Amino acid sequence: MGEQVVSVGTAITIGVGLIIAGYYLRYMWAALQQSVRTRDELDEGEDKYHFSLVGAVISVIASSGAIAAYGLGAVFLYVGPLLALLSAIAVARCLYQEVAK
Amino acid sequence: MSKVALTANPLLQPIQGIVTEILLGVVLLVLVYYIKRNLVSSTKDFVIANRKIGFGYGVAGLISIWTWAMAVMMSSAMTYSYGLSGLFWFTVPNGLAVIAVIPFARKARSLMPNGYTIPEFVRARFEGTRLAVGVVVLGALFGSLIEVIINIKGTALVAYNVFGVDPKVAALTGLAVVLMYSILGGLWASVSTSTLATLLHSVPSAVIVVAALSQAGGAGAVWGAVAEQGQGLLSVTRADAATGFGITLALGLLTATIAGQEFWQVAWGLKKKDVSRTFLWAGAWFYPIPICLGVLGLIGVALHVDVNKALGGDAAAIGPYLISHLGLPLWIVILYAVVILSACYSVIDSAFTAISSVFVVDIVKPLAPSIQERGLFLWAKIPMAIAAVIAVVVVLSGVDFVTIVLTSYAIRTAILIPLVLSLFWKRMTGAGFVWGTLAAIAIGMPIRSVYGELWGSVAILSISAVIPLVSGLLAHEAFDFDRLKRVADATESSRGATLPPSAVRVIS
C-alpha cells in the first residue's frame, strides 16, 4: 500500500466515502434547486409525526450500544467509522426525500 | 505499541493552515452566493429562511450546528481521559439534547406560527413584562456571542496545534471568512453551509480514524494496549465519568438546546410538517460523529500520550496532536483540520444568524415599528459585524471571558424551566417568569461558585421552577394560548408584533 493511502482499510474507506459523498452532493444540489423552485409556494402541511419518543429511545440505545461495543473486541473499533459513513448515507436519504416529494 | 513513534510532521507549515481556512471559506462562499441570488431577497428570507427549510437541509443543518469544534475534539478528549465511559457520557446526552427539543419546538411552532425568537415569544406571552424580555434578550445575545468566541478559539487551537499558525491570525482569518458569507445569506447561508459541513464531519472522520488506527499499529494492537491498562477504560460504567463531568454536561446541553435561539430559529424556519422528524433524525445521526472520533482518544491511551508533556495539560489537544504526530500523509492531516474548521464555521454562522434575528425582531422592530423593509434588511446584517468585532477584541486582547460565559450560563439555565412552563402551562405569569429567573440567578450563582457546577445548576433549576409555580397557583389567571396565533409576522414592516388586549382572563 502506498504511503499516501496508509492501508487497504483506508483505501476501501476512501472509495466508499467518495461514492457516498457523490450521492450526498447530488441530492444536496437537487434539494437546493427544489427549494429555489418552490420558494413562493404556501407551506400548508401539518406536523403529524408520531415516532419521536420511540425514535429517541432507539437512537439512545443504539448509540450506547455502539460505544459499549468498542469494549468487546478490536474489530468493533471499526463500528465508529462505519456509523460515520452511515450517517452521511442517512442524511443523503433525507435530502433525497426532500426532492422526491 | 512501543514501535509507534510520535513525531511532528515536518511537512506541516503555518501557511497551509491559513490556506485551508481560506479555501474552505471560498467553497462555502460560492455556495452562499448561489443561495443569496436565488433564495434571499428580504429580511424574512435572511432571518428565518422564509420558513421554507426542508427535511434534508434541516437534518444536515442541525447536525452541523450542534457539532461544535469542541464536540469534535472533546469526544476524543473524554475518551482519552475516562475511557469508553467518557465517550458515553459525552456522546449520549449530546444527541439526546437535540431530540429533547422536539416537544418544545413543536409546541412553539403550533402556538405561534409567525414567531422568530425566544424573546419575541416571551414578549407576546407576558405582554407588558419588559423585564422578562430584557433578561431573555440578554441571555440570547450573550449565549450566541459566547458560541462565536468559543468556536473561534477552537479554530485558533487546531490551526496552532496542527500547523503552528499564530492563534490570533487563525482566529481573525476564520472570523472574516464566516462573517463574509453569513452577511450574504443569513439563516439560508447557515443551513446550507452546515449541510455541506455535515458531509465534511462524517465521511472524512471515517477515513481519518481508519487511517489513524492503521498507522498506530492496527485495531488489534490499539485495543490490546488499552485493555492491558485496565482501570475500566473499555467499560461504559465508570462512575467517575458521570460525577466528573457527565451529569453536569447533560444539564448544560439540555439548557443549550431547549433555551437556545439557534434551535428555536430552525424550529420556526422549517416547513411546518417537518419540525418533529427533523429534530429526531438530526439527534440520531449526530451520534456517529463523536462515536467515530472517540477512537482517537483510545489511540492516545494506547500510545501512552502524556497529557502534560505532549498536550500542554489540555486533553482537548489529543486529536490534533495524534493526527499531526502519527506520521499520517499530509492530506489526511489537512482533512482533519477541515473537519474541525467546518465545525467551527457552522456554529459561528448559526450564532451570527441568532444574534441577527434577536436584534431585528426584539430590538430594532420594537424601537422602530414602522421601519421599512430595506432598512430592516440592513439592520439584520449589522449585528453580525458588531458581534464579530467584539469576538475579535476578546480573542486578540486575551481578556478572560469567564464573565461572559457565566452570564450566558446563568441566564440560559435560569430561563429554562420558566420557558417550558410558559409554553405548556396557561397559569404561568409574567411575575413568575421574572422573579423566578432573577432569584435563580441571584441565589444559584453564589451556590455554584461555592459548591460547584452541579449543585449550582440544581439550585438554579429548582428556584426557577418553584417561584413560577407558586406565583401561577396564587394568581388565578389563565392565558389564552390561541392569541399567540394572531401575533403578526415581525418582519412585515407595516404591522407590529403585539397582542390584542385581554389575553389573560381571571379564573373564578
Query: What is the count of residue pairs from A and B with beta carbons less than 8 Å apart?
Result: 240
Compare CB distances from B55 to A20, A59, A94 and report the shortest one's residue.
A94
pLDDT digits (tens, 9 = 90+) for B31-78: 999 999 999 999 999 999 999 999 999 999 999 999 987 778 889 999
Q: Is B289 on the interface with A (CB under 8 A)?
A: yes
Q: Which domain holds residue B72?
A: 18-401
Question: Residue B245 falls within a domain, yes or no?
Answer: yes
pTM to 2 decimal places: 0.92
Q: How far is B21 from chain A (nearest CA, A)?
A: 21
Question: Residue B52 falls within a domain, yes or no?
Answer: yes
The letter for the amino acid at B440 is: A
Q: How far is B48 from chain A (nearest CA, A)?
A: 13
Q: Is B50 on the interface with A (CB under 8 A)?
A: yes
Task: Flag whether pLDDT at B402 surpasses 80.
Answer: no
Q: How far apart are CA B226 and CA B80, in angstroms?
A: 10
| CA B268 remoteness from chain centre | 17
Q: Which of residues 39-68 of A touch B (CB under 8 A)?
A: 39, 43-49, 51-52, 55-56, 58-60, 62-64, 66-68
DSSP codes of every residue in B341-352: HHHHHHHHHHHH
Question: Residue B138 falls within a domain, yes or no?
Answer: yes
Which chain A residue shows the shortest CA-CA distance from B278? A94
Are the Cβ atoms of B236 and A67 closer than 8 angstroms?
A: yes
Q: Which of residues 210-229 of B touch A (CB under 8 A)?
A: 210-211, 213-215, 218-220, 222-224
CATH label of the domain that carries residue B362? 1.20.1730.10
Task: Flag whether pLDDT at B350 surpasses 50.
Answer: yes
Which chain B residue shows the shortest CA-CA distance from A55? B280
Compare CB distances from A74 to B52, B95, B220 and report the shortest one's residue.
B220
Q: Is A10 on the interface with B (CB under 8 A)?
A: yes
Where do the domains of chain A lie?
Answer: 1-37+66-101
Task: Flag whether pLDDT at B139 surpasses 90.
Answer: no
Among residues B164, B158, B201, B185, the alpha carbon closest in space to that of B59 is found at: B201
Task: Flag whether pLDDT at B387 surpasses 70.
Answer: yes
pLDDT, residue B494, reads 41
List Cβ neighbours of B367 (8 Å cut-off, separation of 6 or more): none
DSSP H or E run through B506: strand B504-506
**A32-to-B53, B262, B347, B478 alpha-carbon distances in Å:** 10, 21, 21, 44
Q: Rounded to 5, what percent of chain B is helix, strand, coil?
A: 80, 0, 20
pLDDT digits (tens, 9 = 90+) for B368-385: 988 999 999 999 999 999
Are the Cβ atoms of A13 and B202 closer than 8 angstroms?
A: no
Q: How far is A70 from chain B (nearest CA, A)?
A: 7
Compare CB distances from B57 to A31, A44, A96 and report the shortest one's residue.
A31
B504 backbone dihedrals φ, ψ, rounded to 5°? -110, 130
pLDDT, residue B493, reads 56
Compare CB distances from B99 to A28, A34, A56 and report the shortest one's residue.
A56
Percent of chain A topping pLDDT 90? 74
Residue A1 pLDDT grade (very low, low, confident, very high; cuts 50, 70, 90): low
pLDDT digits (tens, 9 = 90+) for B79-114: 999 999 999 999 999 999 999 999 999 999 999 999
Which chain B residue shows the shortest CA-CA distance from A14? B207
Chain A residues touching B283 at Cβ < 8 A: 56, 59
Tell me the mean pLDDT in the region B383-391.
94
| CA B11 remoteness from chain centre | 34
Structural domains of chain B, count: 1
Tell me the mean pLDDT in the region B168-192.
94
For the ranges A80-89, B135-144, B334-343, the lowest mean pLDDT is seen at: B135-144
Q: Which of residues 267-286 of B touch A (CB under 8 A)?
A: 271-277, 279-281, 283-286
Q: Which of residues 430-459 of B touch A (CB under 8 A)?
A: none
The letter for the amino acid at B472 is: G
For the ranges A14-28, B115-129, B404-418, the lowest mean pLDDT is seen at: B404-418
Cβ atoms of residues B471 and B429 within 8 Å: yes
Please list, residue by residue across B12-43, b when 16 or more beta carbons sit within 10 angstroms of its beta carbon and e when fewer do: bebebbbebbeebbebbbebbebbbeebbeeb
Q: How far is A55 from chain B (nearest CA, A)?
A: 7
Cβ atoms of residues B291 and B201 within 8 Å: no
